[in-house]
């Protein structure tokens, strides 16, 4: 795939249109099957059970209540509460957010591994206005309104983004609010890199220890597959 280039006129910054809003993180009480948004409450308002995510979490049975509907009394075959998280939706949203923040402070071309973006904007259709070597700012803005956010599928650029994120997390240079696309992504990625031999844990005296990046080998080639944004 050739480099995707979206270049506004005279080096001005084109604001990237946001992707569709991600779905809310929801959970279902395993005692009574009542559903909630996690941002609203972690405590079931029907049976007073707290959202649990592991088998080690205490499971409190609801107290008998004659006013409670019969179908809600004897449930809870699952020992943990189910939850749904929009991984792809939040990855798209955070990729857009990081690219927007980076493009607002840089006038040079941006590579995805610099923004740690796993999704990139792609025009829905080719426009004659952008085929010109010097499109007007208005034409560029209008074209950027018609984009869709696609996941990085090519192996080379995707691996570059993953390695860049791993180094960011291992070196503790990240901000979870900005860089994590799902809860505890930094912890999960470090552990996965450790299992695959790209990260090792070394003792650090009284500090206990620290994660260290192991040389993953030569940088993957294939610059023609890189995705560059302007």
Domain endpoint, select from 61, 85, 109: 85
For residue 211, the SS3 value is strand
Residues 142 and 71 both lie in one domain: no
For residue 120, how far is the Cα from the chain centroid? 12
Residues 47 and 95 both lie in one domain: no
Q: What is the DSSP letter of 68?
A: S
Nearest CA to 8 out of 148, 147, 108, 152 is that of 108
From first to last of its 230 residues, what are the pLDDT tens digits of the chain?
A: 333 333 333 333 457 788 999 999 999 999 999 999 999 999 999 999 999 976 544 444 445 566 655 544 444 455 789 999 999 999 999 999 998 888 776 666 666 677 888 888 887 764 444 444 444 555 555 555 567 888 887 777 888 888 889 999 998 989 999 999 999 999 999 999 988 888 888 877 666 778 888 866 555 555 444 444 43
Residues 130 and 188 both lie in one domain: yes
Residues 36 and 94 both lie in one domain: no
Residues 118 and 78 both lie in one domain: no
Residue-number span of the structural domain to which 75 is assigned: 24-85
Residue 52 and residue 61 in contact, taking contact as beta carbons nearer than 8 Å? no
């Amino acid at each position: 795939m050739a480099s995707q280039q979206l270049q506004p006129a005279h080096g001005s910054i084109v604001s990237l249109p946001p992707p569709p809003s991600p779905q809310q993180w929801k959970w279902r009480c395993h005692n009574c099957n009542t559903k909630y948004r996690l941002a609203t409450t972690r405590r079931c308002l029907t049976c007073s059970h707290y959202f649990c995510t592991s088998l080690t979490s205490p499971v409190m049975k609801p107290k008998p209540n004659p006013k409670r509907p019969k179908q809600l009394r004897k449930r809870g075959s699952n020992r943990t509460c189910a939850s749904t998280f929009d991984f792809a939706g939040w990855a798209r949203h955070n990729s857009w957010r990081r690219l927007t923040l980076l493009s607002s402070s840089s006038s040079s071309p941006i590579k995805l591994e610099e923004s740690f973006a796993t999704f990139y904007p792609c025009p829905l259709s080719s426009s004659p206005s952008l085929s010109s070597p010097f499109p007007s700012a208005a034409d560029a803005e209008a074209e950027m309104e018609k984009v869709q956010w696609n996941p990085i599928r090519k192996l080379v650029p995707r691996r570059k983004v993953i390695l860049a994120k791993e180094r960011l997390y291992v070196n503790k240079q990240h901000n979870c609010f900005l860089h994590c696309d799902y809860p505890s992504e930094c912890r999960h990625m470090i552990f996965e890199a450790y299992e695959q031999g790209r990260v090792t844990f070394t003792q650090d005296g009284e500090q206990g220890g620290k994660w260290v990046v192991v040389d993953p080998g030569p940088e993957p080639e294939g610059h023609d597959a890189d995705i560059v944004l302007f």
